[in-house]
């Protein structure tokens, strides 16, 4: 059974290699979201080990939590992501969406605009990225590292600051879901912290030799590397992640930060992708190929409608759409509300 989203309904109420020494002090705590103690404003710190006690976490999948981080706000993409996911879901009432949007203006306005074009019973939460920034511990190198690369490392930031107590799905905001999100969430991760698709059009050996990786491994501090690098793996595609917080390694952030300095490529997003691929080397579950985002008949495809694009100097322009798939999930009247 598929829930049909009715559109146009009147709104309802090649790279250089650099070997650089990098030393991080271990992170043991981060700031609690509440940030209060006995009714007074305070910096309350929570141990990272909280994420690693299985007895405190539910093993049953009774609902689906979807997280998405958007660096240049465009409510059309979030509406299409929501509507497409709900229309394909077997149990749409059990799906909730958590959108992390850039700071600026009235953060309640995006919520009300989205709610006006979504099914009345849709469950969405919108959080300003300023709140996320406030939860990071900037007295440590890793806190600064995470925020400086927040758009590339948003799935990791969500894990360390949102304190999700059960598994969740991270999806790039410019996506259209055509498969059942429940099928993805129910995948058995075993002892792995993430499930992720592979992109075998590029391999780690295209950027750095395995001999070099192993040489760096022998020099690295204990805990920053986990396996002998004796294979040439595919890169990982971080547009879709199934995350089990309790299974993530304690030194994951340190490992990603270390490898981001070891392997240096011109494109920042590619550099972090490489670092994360090395940090998760043989420590992930490969998701079925139907959950590899593509412009094809897969369970997740690229959003193909018009969208806002932001530049590094805070400028913004609109990019024309390349297809019509998005129109199945957002009609003209709804688009007019969200594009203003």
DSSP-assigned letters across all residues of 304-336 = -S-EEEE-TTS-EEEEPPS-SGGGGS--HHHHH
Task: Give the span between the Cα atoms of 321 and 303, in whole angstroms.
Answer: 9
Q: Which residue has the tokens 């390694």?
A: 249
Task: Give the span between the Cα atoms of 119 and 9, in whole angstroms.
Answer: 10
What is residue 31's DSSP assignment?
E
In a domain, 13, yes or no: no
* Least confident piece of the model among 10-19, 113-122, 202-211: 10-19
Same domain, 73 and 171: yes
Evaluate if residue 317 carries a pLDDT over 80.
yes
Task: Give the span between the Cα atoms of 14 and 265, in whole angstroms.
Answer: 7
Task: Give φ, ψ of 53 to 5 degrees.
Answer: -110, 100
In a domain, 61, yes or no: no
Same domain, 280 and 300: no
pLDDT of residue 38: 38
Q: Residue 223: which pLDDT band, with cuts at 50, 70 and 90?
A: low
Which residues have CB under 8 Å from 143's CB, separation 6+? Answer: 27, 30, 136, 137
Query: What is the length of the chain?
Result: 340
pLDDT of residue 15: 43
In a domain, 119, yes or no: yes
Same domain, 297 and 168: yes
| 285 class by beta-carbon count within 10 Å (0-12 exposed, 13-18 middle, 19+ buried) | middle
Evaluate if residue 2 carries a pLDDT over 70.
no
Same domain, 144 and 278: no
In a domain, 165, yes or no: yes
Same domain, 73 and 172: yes
Cβ(153)–Cβ(144) below 8 Å: no
Evaluate if residue 251 carries a pLDDT over 50.
yes
Same domain, 82 and 220: no
Helix, strand counts (H, E) of the chain: 10, 15
In a domain, 56, yes or no: no
Same domain, 231 and 315: no
Same domain, 263 and 129: no
**Beta bridge partner(s), residue 9:** none
Same domain, 166 and 72: yes
Task: Give the span between the Cα atoms of 290 and 297, in whole angstroms.
Answer: 8
Out of 59-73, 105-119, 189-203, 223-237, give the one with best mean pLDDT.
189-203
In a domain, 31, yes or no: no
The vertex-174 CA angle with 297 and 59, nearest 5°, equals 80
Rounded to a whole number of angstroms, the CA Rg of the chain reads: 20
Cβ(306)–Cβ(79) below 8 Å: no
Report the domain count for the chain.
2
In a domain, 50, yes or no: no
Same domain, 210 and 269: yes
pLDDT of residue 33: 38
pLDDT digits (tens, 9 = 90+) for 10-49: 444 444 444 344 344 444 444 443 343 433 334 434 344 3
Which one is predicted more confidently, 309 or 56? Answer: 309
The whole domain housing 242 covers 188-287
Task: Give the span between the Cα atoms of 108 and 151, in whole angstroms.
Answer: 22
Structure-block tokens of residue 232: 């040439």
Task: Give the span between the Cα atoms of 166 and 60, in whole angstroms.
Answer: 9
Same domain, 297 and 167: yes
As a whole number, the mean pLDDT across the chain is 81
pLDDT digits (tens, 9 = 90+) for 45-101: 434 433 333 333 334 557 899 999 999 999 999 999 999 999 999 999 999 999 999
The vertex-158 CA angle with 45 and 122, nearest 5°, equals 120
In a domain, 39, yes or no: no
């Amino acid at each position: 059974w598929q829930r049909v989203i009715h559109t146009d309904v009147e709104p309802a109420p090649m790279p250089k290699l650099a070997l650089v020494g990098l030393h991080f002090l271990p992170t043991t705590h981060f700031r609690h979201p509440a940030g209060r103690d006995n009714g007074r404003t305070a910096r309350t710190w929570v141990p990272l080990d909280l994420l690693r006690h299985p007895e405190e976490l539910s093993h049953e999948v009774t609902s689906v939590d979807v997280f998405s981080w958007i660096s240049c706000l465009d409510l059309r993409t979030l509406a299409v992501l929501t509507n497409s996911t709900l229309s394909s879901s077997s149990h749409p009432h059990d799906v909730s969406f958590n959108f992390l949007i850039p700071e600026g203006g009235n953060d309640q306005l995006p919520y009300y605009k989205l709610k006006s074009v979504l099914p009345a019973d849709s469950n969405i939460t919108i959080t300003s990225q300023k709140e996320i920034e406030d939860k990071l511990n900037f007295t440590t190198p890793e806190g600064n590292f995470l925020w400086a690369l927040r758009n590339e490392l948003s799935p990791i930031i969500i894990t360390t600051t949102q304190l999700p107590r059960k598994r969740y799905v991270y999806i790039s905001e410019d996506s259209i879901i055509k498969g059942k999100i429940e099928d993805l969430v129910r995948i058995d991760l075993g002892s792995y912290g993430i499930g992720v698709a592979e992109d075998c059009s590029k391999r780690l050996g295209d950027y750095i030799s395995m001999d070099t990786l192993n040489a760096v491994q022998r020099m690295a501090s204990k805990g920053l590397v986990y396996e002998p690098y004796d294979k040439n793996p595919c890169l990982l595609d971080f547009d879709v992640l199934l995350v089990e917080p309790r299974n993530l390694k304690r030194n994951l952030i340190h490992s990603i930060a270390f490898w981001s300095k070891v392997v240096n490529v011109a494109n920042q997003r590619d550099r972090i992708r490489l670092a994360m691929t090395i940090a998760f080397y043989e420590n992930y579950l490969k998701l079925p190929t139907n959950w590899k985002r593509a412009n094809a008949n897969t369970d997740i495809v690229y959003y193909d409608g018009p969208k806002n694009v932001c530049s590094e100097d805070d400028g913004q322009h609109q990019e024309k759409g390349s297809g019509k798939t998005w129109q199945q999930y957002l009609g003209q009247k709804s688009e007019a509300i969200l594009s203003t």
